[in-house]
Every structure is written in structure tokens, then in C-alpha cells.
Structure 1
Amino acid sequence: MPDSRSTVPSAAHTRLDDFRQQGRVQAGSIIISVFGDAVLPRGSRIWLGSLIQLLEPLGLNERLIRTSVFRLAKEEWLRTEPIGRRTDYLLTPSGQRRFEEASRHIYASSAPLWDRRWRLIVTVGELAPKAREALRRALFWQGFGTLGGDCFVHPSADLSAAFDALLAEGLADTVGKLKPLLAADAQFGNAASDVDMVNGAWNLERLAGVYDGFVGRYQPVLDELRADAAGDIDDESAFLLRILLIHDYRRLLLRDPELPDVLLPADWPGQKARLLCKELYRRLLAPSERHLDTHLQLASGQTPPATPLIHERFREDDPLGDGRA
């Protein structure tokens, strides 16, 4: 068995170093990724001291982590539960629902099928400029495109979940001025096509550039692990890379409306990014789980086991390392 403390492929080392050396880190977003990817499968709770120890190797200091966790609790993502002199942080029911909804998109092995119906959210009445911008930003992070200033469009969003997310963002007053609509696919002579809708609502060139950047960061890591017959990487580095991989991919998907293939340009880089993420995640899973078995603890001192469902993430009939990424 290889020494779990010594094997760090150079491309992995570069990615971790790049993250540590960036000027500003949004620790709250990283912590959300840790809870969704690593803590949720182990009972949705973790001792604060354990979370600090897990994230310190990424260059996040204790004060930053404590401040960020306190803020997430204030925003009702997390709640606390004292155990003696220690404190566990747990996902709130609403926080867990948000993660489970996100997981259906993050760990999917392929893009969803399209029912050829557009989901629309239309503003009814006047919105103040500040409220309109807050709405635009909130729906942008759910993948909605804009058609003019009063209509937001998505090919497959769950409109109920979209409204729940707006309420969670504190936009209750704005929600009362929104109308959800489901548009059936119909042919009306010279009416705008679905492709026209896409080009009007989203900047696909910009999104493609973001996907290309993701592939550029992680393809060298995957190439090195493929080239190594043993696929060796130390357990801690595997965990840290897994968190950064899912963190970057999660934030990328938040911008992506997950358009069906029929509406995307040929050679769309989103599919390449999905396959890369799937294979790299599966290669990092076993060593990263060993790291969590050793270092993730509850306030009671216990280490909760991972649910077997974690091994179903990114599962597909295609063999590992099929070369398509």
C-alpha cells in the first residue's frame, strides 16, 4: 500500500497551490461545497473543530472558517447543537433540501432530457431597480436567461423550487410580483425558433469560456492520474482536490441552464467538462473517503460512516477511463 502522506502528482500540487495563493477566498462557498459533498453523506453534521482541521490545508485559517460558519447559520443554511464543550454544525432542513436539489444536477452522469417546454417567470407590475437587479442575479445563479427586462426563461427548471429559492434569498416581496408560466412547444409560421430563444437569453460564448477554463484546470490532474498505473495520490490531497473540483463544478453549473443538446453548438465544452468531472471524482473518491474516515469527527468524538449511496455518484454504464474526457 502506498504511503498516503507522500504522493502528490505535480498537476494536483499546482491546482492546490493556485487556490492557496489566490488573493481572496470565499470561505462560505467552500464550506457549502464541503457540507454538500462530504458532510451530507455522513449524517449532515460535523464538529466545528473537525471542519477547521479539514480546511486548514487549503489555506483557510480558523478565524475565517468560524466567521463564515456563523454567517451560514445566520442565513439558515446551518444550525448548531452543543455537545458538552464542543459544538456540532448541522444542515437545517431547508439547507438539506437545497443541497439535495443541487446534487441532482452536480452528480448526474448526463444532461437531462428536454420535454420541449420552456419555463418562464414574468414580472407583473413595476419593480424598483434594486429589486429588479436582485431578482436578475438570483435567477442568473439558477441558470435562468433573460428576455428583455421582464421575462426570465429556462428549459427545464422546477418552477416551484425556483420560487422557494427566491424566498430563501429574502425576495418574498418580489415573488408576489412574479408569474410562473409553462410554454408548450408549438409552431406558428415565422415565430422565433428555440435557437433564437437561446441566443437571445444566454451568452453561450461566455459560458463556453468558463467551461474551457474548468477543463484547463483539471485535465492535467486527470491525465497524470491516468498515466500512473496505480493512480496514486495521497489521501489528504485527494480530499482537497475533490472539494475544489466539486466547488468549481457546482459554481459553474449554477450559471448553466443545462440546455438540451439540440439547442447547443457542436462540440459544446460542457459535455467534456461533465465527463472530466465524473472520471476525476471517481478516481479521487476512495483516497478522499479514507481521509474523511480518519479526520471527520462529531463533537462526541465519533466518526460517522458514509452512506453507501456516495458510491452511486456519477455512476454510469460507461467504463472508468473511457477516454472521452
Structure 2
Amino acid sequence: MSSLAPLTQLIDRFQQQTPIRASSLIITLYGDAIEPHGGTVWLGSLIQLLEPMGINERLIRTSIFRLTKENWLTAEKVGRRSYYSLTGTGRRRFDKAFKRVYASSLPAWDGSWCLAMLTQLPADKRKQVREELEWQGFGAISPVVLACPRCDRADVNATLLDLGAQEDTLLFETTAQDVMASKALRMQVRESWNIDELAAHYSEFIQLFRPLWQSLREQAQLDPQECFLARILLIHEYRKLLLRDPQLPDELLPGDWEGRAARQLCRNIYRLIYAAAEQWLEAAMETADGPLPDASASFYKRFGGLPAGAGLVSETDTAD
């Protein structure tokens, strides 16, 4: 049990899920911690890292097997040991999901839109395309028309190509507008993207992690294992929120949008604990070649840049 009461409560909350989402947490672990260090780790290291979360060895092995069958992970045998890494497909999925998590800020919006018409797709394929595009930030204007105020056209085309739907999906782009958010448009956004429900989820995230932030700031010395557990839970919960969040431009969101506060809280906690968590990872993880490689340069660009020497809390950090 952690000496930090808010962290213990978060771990208990995770363990009370029925069923425990072990596979999803393992993907978070790979995306947040393993991929920046070369992407490959011994199965025994995974077991050691995740057991304090209440995930037993049997469930971890079962989850790893499932992720391998689903083409997320691939295994390499060295002697009697198995080392797992993300597949090429798994890495592409990871890149799409996690680049949202660690982005420093969203690009400015010029008022233009991308529209996708699914009228020429068969019904079963239409459902699949709609789900994938909604994950990328599109909202349903009608059952066969999706819209996105800010999208990566290359990502959209790659998604359609992967689904075998590029030739049968119609894409249009509107021109930039001076009036970006009329009353009618705001009402449409609220309907098409279910903004109220998403705001409630962000509010819950803040209520869950604000006590952890306050408790961490009071520590004279941060415990590496506690920081690792806090970091994985933080990114796991925040990633799940961003999978629901179309990341609409500020012009289309309420002035008191909870997503802004949630992002700042996530950034603050991560920047405080990442270095101590790295100490735990370096001690606990093992690759086929021995010690864990150093983190990549891109790792230190997360959230607009991670501060050097983080992990100790100064008096100025704890000041109100």
C-alpha cells in the first residue's frame, strides 16, 4: 500500500473495475514508459511493474497473449525468456493515441472544416469508418455526414486506406470563415460531440487527481515506485478521456471548459513526478541486451518540455 492516501485510493479504484482492464493498462505502460526506452522489455519486468496495481501474474500473461493475438505486441525468445515489443501496427496506433496526450498545445483554428460523406459505403463498412473517424475528432452532423473543424488530412487518408474505404468516402474541405462560432454552430457542436457528457468526465478526472497533486507537492522527497504508479494511472485515465475528446477549437467550446483545467493538472503532475518514475523504471525493467536504454530525445519534449532535475519539490513549488 502506498504512503500517499490519494494514490492508494486511485489504485483501489482501478482494482475495483469489473473486469480489470489489464490489457488497456499494458498499452498505457508501453506508450508512456517502454516505447521511449527502445520499446522492448522482458515479460518478468512487466509482471514486477504491474503487480503493485493488483494485477496478478496470470492475468498479465493472459493479457500479453491477447495483445499479441490482436497484433499489438510481438514476442522474441532469448533462451527461456520472452521479450515483448509493439508491432509496427501497434506503434502506429500508439502514435495516433499518444501524440494527443503529450502535445504542448493545439494549433490555432482558421474556421475551416473537413466533411466526410459516407453515402457510397455499404452499411457495415459505414459503421466501421464512422467509428474510426469519430475517434479522430469527427462529429456526426447526420447519419452519413461527419465533420471535423481541425483534422490531419494525412491521418484521415491513412485511416480510410487501412479500412479499404478511401475510394468510396467523399471528403470536402470548407474555406476559412470570419465568424467561427455562431449560436447555431455552437448548438450543433453540443449535439454532435456530446460536450456535456465529456465535461462531466473531465470534472471527475479533476476530482480524482487533484488530491494526488496536492499530496505530491507536500513530499520533501518523492518515492520512485509511487511516482511510477501515479504516472501510469495518470496517463491511463487521461488517455481514456482523450479517446473521447474530439479536441475542438476553443472557439467552439464553453468558456469554462473543464478540459483545459484537466490538461493543466495532468501536465503539472507529470512534470513533477516523471524523473523519479524514470528511476524506478531503470531499476525494474530489463531488455534482452541488459539495462534499459536511455529515453529518446522526444520523451523530454512531452507537455511542452520536461524540466531537468524534476522529482524533488522546492519551497517555491509548494507555495500557495
The TM-score range, normalised by the shorter chain, is: 0.7 to 0.9
Residue of structure 1 in register with 2:245 after alignment: 256
Alignment of 1:29-178 (within 5 A): 29-125=24-120, 127-128=122-123, 130-165=124-159, 171-172=163-164, 174-178=165-169
Q: 1:175 to 1:187 in 2, by over 3 A?
A: same
1:243-282 counterparts in 2 under 5 A? 243-282=232-271
CA deviations on 1:48-73 (whole Å, 9 max, x unpaired) are: 22112211111112222222222222
Structure 1, unpaired ranges of 5+: 1-5
Structure 2's unaligned 5+ residue stretches are: 308-312
Q: 1:245 to 1:317 in 2, by over 3 A?
A: closer
CA distance in 2: counterparts of 1:71 and 1:146, whole angstroms: 32
Whether 1:12 and 2:7 are equivalent positions in the alignment is: yes
Letter of the 2:59 partner, please give it.
L
Kept after mapping to 2: 8 A contact 1:42/1:306: yes
Greater shift in the superposed pair: 57-66 or 299-308: 299-308
- SS in structure 2 opposite 1:124? coil
- Note if contact 1:41-1:310 (Cα within 8 Å) is conserved in structure 2: yes
Letter in 2 for 1:264: L
Q: Is the 8 A contact 1:7 1:234 kept in 2?
A: no
TM-score (normalised: structure 1): 0.85
- Deviation, 1:294, is 0.3
Q: Once the 2 structures are TM-superposed, how far is the Cα of residue 138 of structure 1 from its aligned partner? A: 2.9
CA contact (8 A) 1:112 1:258 kept: no
Cα distance in 1 between the residues matched to 2:161 and 2:46:
29
State the shift of 1:183 in Å.
1.9
**8 Å CA contact retained: 1:77, 1:95:** yes
Q: How many residue pairs end up in the alignment?
A: 311
Quick check: 1:159–1:180 contact (8 Å CA) kept in 2?
no
Length-normalised TM-score, structure 2:
0.86
Check the 8 A contact 2:199/2:259 in 1, yes or no: yes
Q: How far has the Cα of 1:147 moved from its partner?
A: 0.9
Partner Cα distance (1:136, 1:212) in 2: 27
In the TM superposition, residue 139 of structure 1 has moved relative to its aligned partner by: 2.9
Cα distance in 2 for partners of 1:288, 1:137 equals 35
Q: Give yes or no for contact 1:82–1:88 (8 Å, CA) kept in 2.
A: yes
Separation (CA, whole Å) in 2 of partners of 1:149 and 1:81: 45
- 3-state SS of the aligned residue for 2:75? strand
CA contact (8 A) 1:117 1:183 kept: yes
1:145-186 C-alpha deviation (Å, 9 max, x unpaired): 111100112222223313434665xx43x5543222222235
Q: Deviations over 1:7-37 (max 9, x none)?
A: 7221112111221232222222111111110
Helix, strand or coil for the counterpart of 1:120? strand
SS in structure 1 opposite 2:268?
Answer: helix
Whether contact under 8 Å (2:150, 2:249) holds in the other structure is: no
Percent identical residues: 41
